[in-house]
Amino acid sequence: MNRNFRRMIRDVKVPDPPRAAEKLLEIMHTDGDRFTHLGDFEEVYRVVFEENGPKASRLWYWAQVFRSLPGFLMNRMYWNLSMFRNYVVIALRNMIKNRWFSLIDIFGLFSGLAVIIACLGLLSLASFSALIIAFLTVGSQTLRAALANPVDALRC
């Protein structure tokens, strides 16, 4: 019976692995557009499909994706941090090599940031002042109305 079942399975077209799981793997682990890990997962998926059926093969595929994600994330973080470290080292070497140009650039950066922060501070001060002035003009009218009718003022 087992041989007949395998013959029937070979005649049946094996569906592709879940698209969402494949897309997740593509996003998390890129290997220069070769996607070798996807091919490996698909091969084993087809074997599991032939042995256990569609439901078990989909479950197996998702389990493998979730089992692989932490390793892919750690790999991506390691290489991103390595590249960031290399960028910082190169920037420091260039700053040491070209000291005067670096000082001029850093002074320009700090002065530009200081001007932007000062402008934002003045803008927020002006808007806050306008808000206070608007409140006081409405507040004085409210105060006059309360003084004109003290009984209504006590009810509030």
Pair 59, 15 in one domain: yes
Tokens of 148: 């004109």
Pair 18, 76 in one domain: yes
What is the Cα–Cα distance from 45 to 38, expressed in whole angstroms? 10
More confident residue, 19 or 137: 19
Q: Among 97, 112, 137, identify where a domain stops.
A: 97
Using one digit for the tens of pLDDT, what is the confidence trace for 22-62?
A: 888 888 776 666 667 777 888 888 888 888 888 988 999 99
- Please tell me the predicted confidence (pLDDT) of residue 93: 94
Across 50-128, the runs of DSSP E, i.e. the strands, are none
Q: Among 48, 63, 97, identify where a domain stops.
A: 97
Residue ranges making up the domain that contains 52 = 2-97
Percent of the chain having pLDDT more than 90?
31
Using one digit for the tens of pLDDT, what is the confidence trace for 75-102?
A: 888 988 999 999 999 999 999 999 999 9
Contacts of range 35-41, beta carbons closer than 8 Å, 24 or more positions apart: 37/68, 41/17, 41/65
Domain total in the chain: 2
What is the Cα–Cα distance from 59 to 86, expressed in whole angstroms? 41
Pair 73, 106 in one domain: no
Q: Among 97, 114, 143, identify where a domain stops.
A: 97
